[in-house]
């Protein structure tokens, strides 16, 4: 399937406005439709990592729909409306949904618009949109979720409307990622594939662990906000380069860990400082 890849999310700034267009990252600034966003974490970090990875892989750069939203949900509401209105014209071959206020009605309208396209796009969700997808009861329509351990427990809790309300027995120290993934599928709370982030990153599908990525381990990476966003950005880029989904997830997880080995960060390192190492991290990951 041809067509652009669209990444949807927010900037934590109510004054940012709404931007839809090609995404560019020049190593210093992220620009979408003439608007610039700082790359600290969140969707701007995902987009910067995706652009850097696309350039390394020879894949087209993504389109982006970015809304300014510091938590009120007003910017996200505009993004939901614009997305519902524009999807038929854009005809994306894939969508990555990221930080959006979890509006169930908005989610459902957007999902129906995506499923009504002439060819079904690949659907990937993380963060707020993943929460809405699960709470809507339509998680199984998605191809990939990228939860961390706490979010996986939320996906496995059929009663929780948000991760804050996940029942404690599902998130205990003895909780197995595979067991939680199976429970999430059984209760309709999971996408077809899960890339579970943790001490060991795991690609899980249909009750089976397809890949487990344990190293390299760089403890300082845990203190850097946005490393989950770089992982989602690289996974998106690998899918844009037509890498099969399970392989793309494993490569992204391995490359994200290699970023730590290459950058040698301290807890004070910013996520933007990791971006120059993405091409080499992907090259090494693909060699292993």
Interval 156-171 mean pLDDT = 84
How many CB atoms are closer than 10 A to CB 169?
A: 10
Question: Which helix or strand (DSSP H or E) is residue 118 part of?
Answer: none
Interval 176-194 mean pLDDT = 95
What pLDDT score does 164 carry? 86
Contacts of 105 (CB under 8 A, 6+ apart): none
Residue 172 in this model has a pLDDT that exceeds 60 = no
Specify the pTM.
0.96
Residue 136 in this model has a pLDDT that exceeds 90 = yes
What pLDDT score does 173 carry? 52
- Please state, in angstroms and rounded to a whole number, the distance separating the CA atoms of residues 245 and 214: 19
Report yes or no: 210 and 177 within 8 Å, Cβ to Cβ.
Answer: no
Domains of the chain: 5-287 (3.40.1190.20)
pLDDT bin (cut points 50, 70, 90) of residue 163 is: confident
- Please state, in angstroms and rounded to a whole number, the distance separating the CA atoms of residues 174 and 58: 42
What pLDDT score does 55 carry? 96
SS (H, E, C) 31-94: EECCEEECCCCHHHHHHHHHHHHHHHHCCCCCEEEEEECCCCCHHHHHHHHHHHHHHHHHCCCE
């Amino acid at each position: 399937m041809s067509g652009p890849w669209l990444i949807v999310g927010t900037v934590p700034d109510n004054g940012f406005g709404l931007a839809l267009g090609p995404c560019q990252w020049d190593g210093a600034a992220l620009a979408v439709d003439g608007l610039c966003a700082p790359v600290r974490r969140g969707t701007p970090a995902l987009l910067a990592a995706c652009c850097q990875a696309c350039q390394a892989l020879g894949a087209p750069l993504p389109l982006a729909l970015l809304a300014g939203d510091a938590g009120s949900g007003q910017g996200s509401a505009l993004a939901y409306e614009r997305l519902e209105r524009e999807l038929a014209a854009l005809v994306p071959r894939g969508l990555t949904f990221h930080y959006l206020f979890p509006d169930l009605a908005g989610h459902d309208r957007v999902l129906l618009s995506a499923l009504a396209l002439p060819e079904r796009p690949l659907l990937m969700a993380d963060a707020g949109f993943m929460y809405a997808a699960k709470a809507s009861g339509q998680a199984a329509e998605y191809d990939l979720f990228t939860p961390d351990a706490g979010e996986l427990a939320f996906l496995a809790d059929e009663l929780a409307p948000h991760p804050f309300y996940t029942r404690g027995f599902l998130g205990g120290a003895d909780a197995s990622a595979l067991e939680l993934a199976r429970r999430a599928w059984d209760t309709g709370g999971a996408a077809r594939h899960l890339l579970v982030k943790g001490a060991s990153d795991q690609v899980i599908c249909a009750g089976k662990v397809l890949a487990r990525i344990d190293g390299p381990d760089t403890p300082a990476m845990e203190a850097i906000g946005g490393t989950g966003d770089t992982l989602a950005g690289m996974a998106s880029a690998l899918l844009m380069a037509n890498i099969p989904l399970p392989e793309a997830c494993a490569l992204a997880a391995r490359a994200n860990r290699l970023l730590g080995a290459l950058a040698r960060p301290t807890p004070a390192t910013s996520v933007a400082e990791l971006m120059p190492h993405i091409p080499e991290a992907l090259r090494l990951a693909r060699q292993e």
